[in-house]
Amino acid sequence: MEKHLSIEDFSGYELLDSGDHMKLERFGYLVLSRPDTQAIWKKSKPELWGNANAEFVWENGKGAWKKNSDVPESWTVAYTDALLYAKLTNFKHVGLFPEQAANWSWTDERIKTLKKPKVLNLFGYTGAASVLAAKAGAEVTHVDSSKASLAWCKENAEASGLAEDAIRYIHEDVRTFVKREVKRGAKYDGILLDPPAFGRGAKDEVWKIEEDLLPLMEQLKELLGDASGSFFLLNGYAAGYSPLSFKQLVQSVFANNEVQYGELRIPETDSTRFIPAGMYVRFVR
């Protein structure tokens, strides 16, 4: 079933305006302006843009944040009962991806139908999904090849009041970890993954989504439990594929499961406009 998802009940975040290849967002108490190639329309509220605390600009082929006021190195943004750190990075993002809120809510609902489920988060990055899954009652394994991302996830977990052992952190190439888990006969009640189009593993292994995603999915089929209520979620962003392509990939591996798929969208405040922000495919056994 095709269904496009947008943010619900995320008071810590707001898309104030968008257009001219830019978006104006509020993360907690700070307003940021940064590029978005999807925003090819005109701005509707140009008077708001002068209020940005910081804006991401391109100079001499390089991107950097220009601060218009005092912006801390990091600050927290509240989502339900969690606190998640935002930071200005050199890659124009802030480590928090609000379009995922619809998937966070769905994952929370799935976890609460199961008894202490084991959840695997691959390409877990800064770990909002891991933190929220742990707070919902899951035993979470968080895998990422970046030490900095793992440290960020730990900060989010601590800020959200989780115990030190609430999340198992794995610094490793996702494919290496998954192969080992398959050999061990490990099983998980939920699997989340958000693979990049291109990346490098902990030992500089090269990841190319067009070559590596299908073999990885075949192995994840061995890790996902067969029990009723087990769930799977694949996210995609900037990979050059359509939601239909991802849907058919998942169906080709996980046969006989009814999948939901579509775009993730960020709604603009007091407007009928949305910014497309990736895609998802998910199912429940």
DSSP character for 22?
Answer: E
- What integer best gives the mean pLDDT of the chain? 95
Give the span between the Cα atoms of 190 and 233, in whole angstroms: 8
Range in 58-67, 75-84, 87-96, 153-162 the model is least confident about: 58-67
Helix (H, G, I), strand (E, B) or coil at 9: coil
Range in 93-107, 128-142, 196-210 the model is least confident about: 196-210
pLDDT for res 94: 98
Element (H, E) at 93: none
Element (H, E) at 53: none
Exposed, middle or buried, 177 (CB in 10 Å: 0-12/13-18/19+)?
buried
Range in 192-201, 209-218, 246-255 the model is least confident about: 192-201
DSSP character for 90?
Answer: T
Give the residue carrying structure tokens 């959200």.
160
Q: What is the percent of the chain with per-residue pLDDT over 90, rounded to a whole number?
A: 91
Give the tokens for residue 241: 């594929």
Neighbours of 249 (CB within 10 A): 17
pLDDT for res 267: 97
pLDDT for res 239: 67
DSSP character for 224?
Answer: B
pLDDT for res 45: 97
pLDDT at 238 exceeding the cut of 70: no
Average pLDDT on 139-163 reads 97
Q: Are 214 and 247 in contact (CB under 8 A)?
A: no
Range in 27-36, 144-153, 192-201 the model is least confident about: 192-201
pLDDT at 193 exceeding the cut of 80: yes
Q: For the whole prediction, is pTM greater than 0.85?
A: yes
Confidence class for position 65, pLDDT limits 50, 70, 90: very high
Query: Which string of DSSP letters, residue by residue, matches 172-213?
Result: S-HHHHHHHHHHHT--BSEEEE---SEEE-TT--EEEHHHHH
Residues 6+ apart with CB under 8 A from 161: none
What are the chain's domains? Answer: 5-76 (2.60.40.1180), 97-284 (3.40.50.150)
The number of angstroms, rounded, from the C-alpha of 158 to the middle of its chain's C-alpha atoms is 19
Average pLDDT on 210-223 reads 97
Residues 6+ apart with CB under 8 A from 278: 99, 235, 236, 237, 238, 263, 264
